[in-house]
Structure 1
């Protein structure tokens, strides 16, 4: 969206057009954006997601992860949903997403239900933001008023997906940089990592921690030995079960709570990127982990704030982008359903931090 700026110089009025900043775009979002045009959108998304979660409880973490992976790549614009076409190189093929992003078929189901009630009105980017909030609630976590009014991108960026999405083996400095590049601070990093309170990860993404951490030939010393033995039984050294999935939170694997942080204190974080938050010497993140472990309400309040903050990254508003009719294709190619999004979902991983 652009606006006109009038500048008076020496009695002469000069008119120019200037693009709105990302902050200005985000300021145009409003939880009541669809109050008149699609007042039932929240309940529609909730009903679809609730029904799916009855048979697939993992879908809650999966869709929260999709929202995260969307926002970290050219903003919260639903670019991750776009399939490969003659002109689009899909982000779904990026290393952090390929064979691990799941739930895109459910997003399409939600979009179909929303379109039936409110045609050409609700963006796919807003559907992702709503689904993330509803996933939190259905998982037993906090609710928040989701700012709405995003529009959908006309492009995707696989290169940026490979560059921007943090990996499961990232150190704390690498994680800090990846989040800072999106305008997110240390508190946001620790808070959003708490989405690993539910979901799963494939053995291959923490395999080195079990057997050959950083090429030492030994396990990760920050991994509790009894927990390591459990993981080794699930992920044997021969690599035969590298695509098997393990709970990110060994205590309450399908519930949004603060047990993730207690696990870190006990050196039972599944991914290196998890345990780094607590076990990195002299790190400021350690105190935040301790606070969240001791006070679930504090974590929930921080989680709401950080999810809203993340959901404001690089949004399109006004006349920028479009409202897609189908989430996996731009409108100019909306009839090209040769490759539906669900064909990307044969493997499984959930959570905020990505894994290669």
Structure 2
């Protein structure tokens, strides 16, 4: 039986259109984009075109987009840059207990350097309480950082409402949208965010490239110092090849909504089929409605999730985020949501994508039924 990939939240395949857009930059265009001669100007133009493609997807302006090596760098840039740039105002940061390690670990690092971090609790669906967000704000609060959608259970946070709270109190607001860009519509103005993180390999672009939206007018200390690349916000000769790939992926995502509906329908079909499996009780992790259209995190109660996957080597899925794969400890996200350990030990995250087929889902159901 062929291999079946259901781990799109960990990483996506590179779309064929993205490969085609990148190919000339492997074969022909090799100049430094900072060079003023013919070998550089074409690459510079390609970067600016990609910047426009990214900005259009999230309703930003091109000059608000900074290219990075991925989501982790973008998150570190915001947290460390704001902590340094706004030290005269305060040292307090607000986040949640279910953030990706690319947020939590920089926060732990900053705590060693004097930061005060509030880690908000979440409810049984993985959502933060808006009153808790507002109550956590103090006169020293310089940044709120709350992910748009959780990578493990797919729950979408009330980012627009949090943005209103942040604006009301004059606090900068960042959201890590690595998992949601391209899966649900995003508008930085509607969300009222000041910073937004994008990761290429979550949306059919290559690994090793991402982008950070920085609202115009906000000054932030660079994470990487050097020459004046990216308008002085991120030093280092730009990776033209990968940037072009990210730009094309963002352009494709503008027209992905029909595929999103297809993926959601397939996910719901999968969930209905799982509930009909004999001799096994399943339960859902994450919000039943306010959830990414491709994400299905399921508890196989009385089982161990990793043992299930070990018996199905032809299926690529995860017992949590990819960063915790192979561990049978209860996921920190599920623990924060109050999932009982004996239930959560059976958690498996299936994340679908635009290349997933109904035939593949039927094969997975058949295999699960067999074991």
Task: Tell me the TM-score normalized by structure 2.
Answer: 0.30
Larger strand share, 1 or 2: 2
Larger helix share, 1 or 2: 1
Task: Tell me the TM-score normalized by structure 1.
Answer: 0.31
Which has the bigger relative contact order, CA under 8 A and spacing at least 6?
Answer: 1
